């Protein structure tokens, strides 16, 4: 045996101890604070240790307890950001994926892994109404958005060899931060990102979009892509996808949908996503609303040839030796990545274990929980909603600063202090958003563990935190 080998019995013993730790952790989720009671200096003191020259063997397991105790748990009362809750069934498959250690570059490097990923991606596309789309799993929505816009650029203003000149991209002012990043990284330039205003429900104004594209065409610019949101990160708003698709395609632009947060809700409420099937490319995140462990994003696209125009550039050492459509397939010809882990195994196993219907029901529960919180806020005189609730994000705030004016600056400071106190108390975890310049308390439901009682605790905690801050 080599120094890094484990005998089968040693692997089984070590794995069992880790499984026992994980099981105990899951069993105690309800009793754990939603954010660890620790500090930056404490965590650094625990983990800032030199790498040992001689291995610790099973004594190294002691450090895993420290990891669990200083990590943010996937609690049923975690409502921050848009982060799925981590299906334990998928986590079990993730262990096997690491043992297999497949580099999912091409069929010849991982026959089962490549076939399972292509099957899962096609199945997801079909399930959300985009039958016939293909694509690949990614690290997340940001990578998928970058790749989608790279395909758009190379289709509408080819630049891989010559660079970009005179192109523009269009999105709403509520767009996710990954879109400006992508526009910059792709050499289009953030000055050429046209931010279109939104209506009172935070949907893109399609008349303004049409005018902006026409103005650029008259100025000699090429409309490269229009980006619509299928669930904005702040409020969960779904843009009018069908109308935006018609405008984009009429002017010769690529139509990309950022569905990283919301598109998978089409499993449960397809009527909210009419026009999704008209996308040229579409990002979505199974590690959000399919509750998968990180990382598991996805890019879907209509035309594989467009992906190949953007990403196909292989060295001789990687070139496929087979012309067979299955055995000659290579993800690196349609993706920015070469090295890729077996992300699909956990998703495939999780979907087969639970069935698609279980995920539909879990998403419906999340949507119902958002409605429940919104109703609770409406019934509480000291709180107010700041945005409509279309999917599962609820933005609200405390109305009045005790003893002070209700000027916007005071309200913003007041609600920021309330948020800090809520997180400090450790009973629920919410995040924040900016809504028309107002500091909002934000709860987002993408958590299969959450109960009605967990939802009710949000308002109780906010009111208690407001009292604590007011008394201090």
Going by pLDDT thresholds of 50, 70 and 90, the confidence category of residue 334 is: very high
What average pLDDT does this structure show over 262-281? 97
Contact by Cβ (8 Å): 225, 254: yes
Model pLDDT, residue 4: 86
Instruction: Give the tens place of pLDDT for each residue, 118-140.
Output: 999 999 999 999 999 999 999 99
Top-confidence residue, 176 or 48: 176
Going by pLDDT thresholds of 50, 70 and 90, the confidence category of residue 313 is: confident
Any long-range contacts for 182-188 (C-beta under 8 Å, 24+ apart)? 182/142, 182/145, 182/146, 182/149, 182/150, 183/149, 185/146, 186/146, 186/149, 186/150, 186/153, 186/159, 187/159, 187/163, 188/149, 188/153, 188/157, 188/164, 188/224
Q: At what angle do helices 88-100 and 344-354 cross, to 10 degrees?
A: 140
Model pLDDT, residue 23: 96
What average pLDDT does this structure show over 377-405? 91
Model pLDDT, residue 467: 92
Q: What is the DSSP secondary structure assignment for residue 267, as one 8-state letter?
A: G
Instruction: Give the tens place of pLDDT for each residue, 191-214.
Output: 999 999 999 999 999 999 999 999
Of the ranges 150-164, 270-284, 400-414, which one carries the lowest mean pLDDT score? 400-414
315 has pLDDT over 80: no
Task: Name the strand (E) or helix (H) holding 300.
Answer: strand 297-301
DSSP string, 7-23: -HHHHHHHHHHHHHHHH
For the chain, what is the mean pLDDT? 93
405 has pLDDT over 90: no
Going by pLDDT thresholds of 50, 70 and 90, the confidence category of residue 236 is: very high
CB neighbour list of residue 202: distance below 8 Å, 6 or more residues apart = 172, 174, 232, 234, 235, 237, 387, 388
Model pLDDT, residue 471: 72
CB neighbour list of residue 430: distance below 8 Å, 6 or more residues apart = 79, 80, 419, 422, 423, 441, 442, 443, 458, 462
| Rounded CA separation 203/240 (Å) | 7
What average pLDDT does this structure show over 8-31? 94
| Mean pLDDT comparison of 97-106, 319-328, 393-402, highest-scoring range | 97-106
Contact by Cβ (8 Å): 244, 214: no
CATH topology of domain 102-354: 3.40.640
**Domain boundaries in the chain?**
102-354, 357-471
Any long-range contacts for 115-121 (C-beta under 8 Å, 24+ apart)? 115/326, 116/344, 116/345, 116/348, 117/331, 117/342, 117/343, 117/344, 118/329, 119/348, 120/344, 120/347, 120/348, 120/351, 121/298, 121/300, 121/344
Domains 102-354 and 357-471 share a fold: no
Top-confidence residue, 1 or 327: 327
Q: What is the DSSP secondary structure assignment for residue 234, as one 8-state letter?
A: T
In the CATH hierarchy, which top-level class contains the domain 357-471? alpha beta
What average pLDDT does this structure show over 132-161? 90
| Rounded CA separation 356/350 (Å) | 9
Going by pLDDT thresholds of 50, 70 and 90, the confidence category of residue 53 is: confident
What average pLDDT does this structure show over 61-69? 92
| Rounded CA separation 291/295 (Å) | 11
Model pLDDT, residue 470: 80
What average pLDDT does this structure show over 363-371? 98
Select from 266, 274, 215 the least CA-distant residue to 245: 274
Top-confidence residue, 168 or 400: 168
| Mean pLDDT comparison of 32-41, 275-284, 395-404, highest-scoring range | 275-284
Angle at CA of residue 121, ends 261 and 100, nearest 5°: 105
C-alpha distance from residue 392 to each of 10, 111, 114, 283 (Å): 45, 38, 33, 18
Model pLDDT, residue 403: 65
What average pLDDT does this structure show over 73-86? 92
Going by pLDDT thresholds of 50, 70 and 90, the confidence category of residue 321 is: low
Q: What percentage of the chain carries pLDDT values higher than 90?
A: 83
What average pLDDT does this structure show over 299-324? 82
């Amino acid at each position: 045996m080599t120094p890094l080998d484990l005998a089968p019995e040693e692997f089984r013993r070590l794995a069992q101890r880790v499984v026992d730790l994980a099981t105990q952790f899951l069993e105690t989720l309800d009793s754990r604070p939603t954010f660890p009671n620790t500090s930056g200096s404490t965590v650094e003191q625990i983990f800032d240790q030199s790498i040992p020259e001689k291995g610790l063997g099973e004594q190294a397991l002691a450090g895993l307890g420290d990891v669990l105790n200083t990590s943010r748990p996937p609690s049923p009362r975690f409502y921050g950001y848009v982060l799925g809750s981590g299906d334990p069934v998928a986590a079990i498959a993730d262990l096997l994926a690491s043992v297999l250690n497949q580099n999912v570059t091409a069929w010849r490097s991982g026959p089962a892994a490549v076939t399972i990923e292509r099957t899962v991606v096609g199945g997801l596309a079909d399930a959300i109404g985009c039958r016939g789309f293909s694509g690949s799993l990614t690290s997340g929505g940001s990578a998928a958005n970058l790749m989608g816009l790279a395909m758009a650029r190379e289709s509408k203003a080819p630049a891989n060899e010559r660079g970009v000149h005179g192109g523009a991209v269009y999105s709403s002012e509520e767009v996710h931060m990954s879109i400006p990043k992508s526009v910059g990284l792709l050499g289009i330039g953030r000055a050429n990102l046209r931010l279109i205003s939104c209506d009172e429900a935070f949907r893109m104004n399609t008349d303004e979009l049409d005018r902006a594209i026409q103005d650029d065409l008259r100025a000699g610019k090429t409309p490269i892509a229009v980006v619509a949101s299928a669930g904005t990160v702040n409020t969960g708003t779904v843009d009018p996808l069908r109308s935006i698709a018609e405008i984009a395609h009429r002017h010769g632009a690529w139509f990309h949908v950022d569905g990283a947060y919301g598109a998978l809700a089409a499993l449960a409420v397809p009527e909210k996503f009419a026009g999704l099937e008209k996308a040229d490319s579409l990002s979505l995140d199974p590690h959000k609303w399919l509750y998968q462990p990180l990382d598991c994003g996805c890019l879907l696209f209509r035309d594989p040839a467009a992906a190949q125009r953007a990403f196909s550039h292989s060295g001789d050492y990687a070139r496929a030796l087979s012309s067979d459509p299955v055995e000659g397939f290579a993800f690196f010809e349609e993706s920015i990545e070469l090295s890729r882990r077996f992300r699909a195994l956990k998703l495939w196993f999780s979907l087969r274990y639970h069935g698609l219907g279980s995920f539909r029901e879990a998403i419906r529960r999340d949507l119902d929980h958002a409605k429940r919180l919104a109703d609770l806020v409406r019934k509480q005189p000291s709180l107010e909603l700041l945005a409509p609730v279309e999917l599962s994000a609820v933005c609200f705030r405390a109305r009045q600063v005790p003893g002070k004016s209700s000027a916007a600056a005071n309200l913003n400071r007041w609600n920021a202090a309330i948020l800090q106190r809520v997180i400090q108390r450790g009973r629920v975890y919410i995040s924040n958003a900016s809504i028309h310049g107002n500091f909002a308390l934000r709860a987002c439901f993408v958590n299969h563990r959450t109960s009605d009682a967990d939802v009710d605790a949000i308002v109780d905690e906010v009111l208690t935190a407001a009292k604590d801050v007011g008394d201090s």
